[in-house]
Structure 1
Amino acid sequence: MGEKFAAALARAATGNEITKQQIIDLLSALPGEEENKLFQLADQVRQKYLGNEVHLRGIIEFSNFCRNDCFYCGLRRSNKQIQRYRIPIEEIIETAKYAAELGYGTIVLQSGEDLHYSGQELAEIIRQVKKVGGFAITACVGERTWEDYTLMKEAGADRYLLKHETADPILFSQLRPETTLKERIKGIQWLKELGYQVGSGNIVGLPGQTIETLVEDILLLRDLDVEMAGIGPFIPHHQTPLGNNSPGDLSLTLKTLAVTRLVLPQTHLPATTAVGTLHPEGRKLALASGANVIMPNLSPVSYREKYQIYPDKAGSREKPTESHAKITSLIKEVGRSVSTGRGDSPKDKFKTC
C-alpha cells in the first residue's frame, strides 16, 4: 500500500475525523490491495454501528411528471418521448397493502417535482398510506415550500429524501437549469428543522466532476448530518443532453460509498438501484463496501418502465414479487439478514422505545 493511503486508512480506522486530503487519498485507492482494504474497513464500520441487517425501503413511484429540466434525467420536462402518468390513490393504497404483507417497514413515496399535487394532496396520500400499516413514510417529491413540508410531516411523513446531486454550485446550476445548490441546501435544512429524518446524496461520474468535487459531496453530507445518503453512478439517458456521455465508474462509486461510511458511521447508505443497473453484481459489491439499505421498486408493473430517470433500470421489467424475492435472496447470499423493523436512524434523537 502507498504511504499516504495507509496513513489515511489508519486514521479512519481510529474513528477520528479525517481531513480533506485524507479523503482524497482514500478515494484514490488503487485497484487490488488498497481498494480491498478500504472496502473491508467500511464493511467493519457498518457492522459495528448498524449491525448485519439490511433495511428494505419499498418505493412507489407515483408520478413521472416533473417541472425541472435536469440534463441527466429522463423525467426532464423537455422529454416529449416519455409517456407521463400519475398513479391513482386507490392503486397506491393497494401497493402499500402488498408491501405490508411482505413485511416492509418503510414506504418511499417518490415522484418527479410534480406541482399538480398541492401540499394538501401530498399530505392526504401520506395519511392514507400511513393507515395501511406501521410504516415509516419517506417522501421524495423534490423541493417544496416550508408549508408543504409541514403539511406532509403533520400527515405522518417520517423521512424526506432530497439529494443534493453535486456539491459544486456551478456544476449544479449547469446540469439543473433554473435551480441552485443554495436553494437545495436550504430545503434540506428546513426538513431537519421540522424533525424529519433526512436523506440526501450525490451522483458519481457526472460530466465535469472531479475528485475534489466528490470530497466536497462527502463533507457536505457530514456537515448536513444526514440520516441517509444515496450514492450512485451517473447513467446516461439517450433522451437527455448528456445522452452521449460515458457512465460513472463502478470502482469510484464504491470507493465514494466506502469513504462516506467511514465519515458517517451511523448514516444509512443504500446499495442503489443505479449501481445494480451499472453492474449485475453492483448491489452485492455495495453491500460489501458499507451499504446497509436496499430500495426495491414496488410500483405496479404497468408504470415501472415509464419512470426512467435513466434507461434499463434494474428491476423495471420485473413483477413486484420477483423484485422482492430476488433482493431477499441476494441479501441472504452475502450472509446478511433482512430487517423486519422500520429502520429508523440509530442517532439518539430518533431512537424509538
Structure 2
Amino acid sequence: MITKGYDISSLTKKELKALIEKNIHATDEKLLEAARYTRELAYGKKVFFRGLIEFSNYCKNDCYYCGIRKSNRNVHRYRLTKEDILNCCMTGHELGFRTFVLQSGEDLYYTDDFMLDLIHEIKNRFPDSAITLSMGEKSDESYKKYFQAGADRYLLRHETATEAHYNKLHPENMRFSNRKKALYSLKEIGFQVGAGFMVNSPYQTTDHLVNDLLFLKELEPHMVGIGPFIPHHDTIFANEKSGTVDMTVLMVALVRLLLPQALIPATTALGTIDPFGRERGLQAGANVVMPNLSPTSVRENYSLYDNKICTGDEAAECKECISGRIRNAGFEPDFSRGDYEK
C-alpha cells in the first residue's frame, strides 16, 4: 500500500521533528503520494468550493503580522451592511456555491443581535447552504447563539500552538490559552471547527511546527487552514521573508496524513507566493478552495498580507478560472455543501 511507512499518527515529537527536517528543502514524493492517496480515500478527487465574504476589516486586535491590525492607520476601513452580505450570498448561490464563509476582523460593531438576524436571513433565503463564520474570539454564549441560529462551522486559526511563540506574534492582551479554550468550546457546542497555522512565521522553529501538528492531532478539528507567512508593509514584520511553498506544502501533506478526513484549503496565500501554489497544495492533499464573493470595491482593503491575488476578478470570473485550473490539475470542482465526513 502506498501509505505504508507514512502512518505518522504514532510518531513521537522527536520523530516528527526528524521527518520535517528531512523534507525541509524538497518534500519526498512518496510522502506527497501518500497524502494524495489518503485524501482520495476520504473524498475522492473532489475539491470543495466555499464562497468567501470578507464583510469588515475593522479589528480590535493588534496582531503584529496582520495588515488590518488596529494600529494600522493606513487601512481604508469598511463594513458591509446586512443587504450587502445577502447580495454577496445571492451572487454566490446563483453561481452554484452552497457554503458561505463570513469573515471579518474582530469588529464589535456586529453585535450578536445583528449576526443572529443575518444567520436567520441567510438560512431562510438559502436553506440548502452552509454558513461558516470566521470572526475571531467571542464568548461561549455568543458561539452558542450563532450555532442555535443555524451557523454550521467556525474557523479560528490557532496560528501557533507554542505559547512563547504566540506571545512574540501578538500583544500582551492576547493569549494562546484563550484561543485554545475557544476552539475546544466551539467543538463542544457542535460546530464543525477549523484551526490552522502560518508556516515560516517570524521566530518559528521546527519544534514549533511539531507542536502545531501535535495540537491538531489532539484537537481533531474538521478543517485546517495552512498558509505561508507573508509580510505586510504596514506591520513590524514588514522586512521579514515570506514563507516558502515547499515548507507549506510539506505541512499540508503532514496534516492530511495526521487527519485523513480533514477539509484542508489550498489557500490564497499559497497562490500569492507561487503562481501554481494552489495546485501544489491540492497535489499535497488539500481539497478546498475559497474564491472571493466580496464586492470588488472593498477587496483590496481586506489586506492581511501584501500582493494578495484575485482582488479585481468578478465572482463569476473567479469561479471559472479556479474551476479550470482544478480540472487541469486532475481534480473535480464540487459546489455542494461539502461537509466533513466522519
Partner of 1:3: none
How many Å apart are 1:15 and its aligned residue?
7.1
User: Out of 131, 142, 147, which is 1:153 matched to?
Assistant: 147
How many Å apart are 1:14 and its aligned residue?
4.7
Instruction: Determine the C-alpha separation between the residues in 1 that align with 2:114 and 2:125.
Output: 17
Partner of 1:76: 69
User: Out of 201, 213, 217, which is 2:212 matched to?
Assistant: 217
Which range is displaced more, 326-335 or 10-19? 10-19
How many Å apart are 1:345 and its aligned residue?
0.7
How many Å apart are 1:71 and its aligned residue?
0.6
CA deviation map 1:205-262 (0-9, x unaligned): 1111001100111111111110000000000000011001001121111101111111
User: Out of 61, 79, 94, which is 1:101 matched to?
Assistant: 94
Aligned residue identity for 1:315: C
User: Out of 119, 128, 139, which is 2:133 matched to?
Assistant: 139
When residues 141 and 14 of structure 1 are mapped into structure 2, their CA distance, relative to the original with a 3 A threshold, is closer
How many Å apart are 1:32 and its aligned residue?
8.5
When residues 180 and 104 of structure 1 are mapped into structure 2, their CA distance, relative to the original with a 3 A threshold, is same
User: Out of 230, 234, 238, which is 2:233 matched to?
Assistant: 238
How many Å apart are 1:340 and its aligned residue?
3.2
How many Å apart are 1:22 and its aligned residue?
2.8
CA deviation map 1:82-112 (0-9, x unaligned): 0000011111111101111111121000000
Aligned residue identity for 1:110: Q
How many Å apart are 1:16 and its aligned residue?
5.3
SS in 2 for 1:229: strand
How many Å apart are 1:174 and its aligned residue?
2.2
Q: Give yes or no for contact 1:72–1:242 (8 Å, CA) kept in 2.
A: yes
Instruction: Determine the C-alpha separation between the residues in 1 that align with 2:251 and 2:224.
Output: 11
Partner of 1:128: 121
Q: Give yes or no for contact 1:96–1:132 (8 Å, CA) kept in 2.
A: no
Partner of 1:175: 169
Partner of 1:308: 303
1:1-353 paired onto structure 2 within 5 Å: 12-14=5-7, 17-30=10-23, 35-133=28-126, 134-177=128-171, 178-347=173-342
SS in 2 for 1:22: helix
How many Å apart are 1:12 and its aligned residue?
4.7
Q: Give yes or no for contact 1:12–1:18 (8 Å, CA) kept in 2.
A: no
When residues 256 and 16 of structure 1 are mapped into structure 2, their CA distance, relative to the original with a 3 A threshold, is closer
Aligned residue identity for 1:338: P
Q: Give yes or no for contact 2:65–2:169 (8 Å, CA) kept in 1.
A: yes
Instruction: Determine the C-alpha separation between the residues in 2 that align with 1:170 and 1:101.
Output: 46
Instruction: Determine the C-alpha separation between the residues in 2 that align with 1:278 and 1:329.
Output: 20
When residues 221 and 14 of structure 1 are mapped into structure 2, their CA distance, relative to the original with a 3 A threshold, is closer
When residues 107 and 12 of structure 1 are mapped into structure 2, their CA distance, relative to the original with a 3 A threshold, is farther
Aligned residue identity for 2:136: G
Q: Give yes or no for contact 2:25–2:247 (8 Å, CA) kept in 1.
A: no
SS in 2 for 1:13: coil
Instruction: Work out the number of aligned pairs and report it.
Output: 339
Q: Give yes or no for contact 1:276–1:314 (8 Å, CA) kept in 2.
A: yes
SS in 1 for 2:28: helix
CA deviation map 1:37-69 (0-9, x unaligned): 221111111111221100011110000000000
What TM-score results when the alignment is normalised by the length of structure 2? Answer: 0.95
Which range is displaced more, 204-213 or 130-139? 130-139
CA deviation map 1:294-345 (0-9, x unaligned): 0111101001001000122121121212211111111111111111321111
Gaps of 5+ in 1: 1-8, 348-353
SS in 2 for 1:230: strand
SS in 1 for 2:238: coil
